[in-house]
Amino acid sequence: MSGPQDGDGGAGLRDASRRKGSFTRTARAVAWSFFGVRKSADYERDVSEINPVHVVIAGIVGVLLFIGGLLLLVRWVIGSGVAA
pLDDT of residue 68: 97
Per residue, what are the HEC states of the chain? CCCHHHCCCCHHHHHHHCCCCCHHHHHHHHHHHHHCCCCHHHHHHHHHHCCHHHHHHHHHHHHHHHHHHHHHHHHHHHHHCCCC
25 vs 6, residue with greater confidence: 25
Each residue of 47-78: pLDDT tens digit? 788 888 888 888 999 999 999 999 999 999 99
